[in-house]
Amino acid sequence: MDDEGRAELKMKIVEEIEVQKHLIVSFTSTSKPVAPDNAIGRLTRMEAISSQGISEASLNSARSKLVKLEKALSKLDLPDFGICARCSNPIPQGRIMLMPENVLCVSCAEKN
């Protein structure tokens, strides 16, 4: 990857980190437990609990992606950045631009 590509990728990663931080704040507020004394109907309460569970899963996913993005940002200038962690083949630049947090090429990722 050339210097221009790395600069573009760095900007994309920084933007995506900000998006994930915003999502974490949003999901944190929506994943709070539903109070048992809440005076809503039984079905509405079940829906609220279900929605809370979905928010928790989304929160965990956003946190995980944030960690991976920060790790990718820290390794961006290393010579082995963009090399598959499993097979040591170069990861296509298009894949890196779409998912900079991934460390596997498409072939290796499909084997998981």
Q: What's the domain range around 47?
A: 3-111
pTM of the model: 0.80
Question: Based on the structure, what is the number of domains in the chain?
Answer: 1
Higher pLDDT, 65 or 31: 65
Q: What is the pLDDT of residues 78-94, one digit of tens each?
A: 988 999 999 999 999 89
* CATH number of domain containing 21: 1.20.120.910
Question: What average pLDDT does range 41-62 have in this prediction?
Answer: 83
At a CB cut-off of 8 Å and minimum separation 6, what does 84 contact? 90, 91, 103, 104, 105, 108
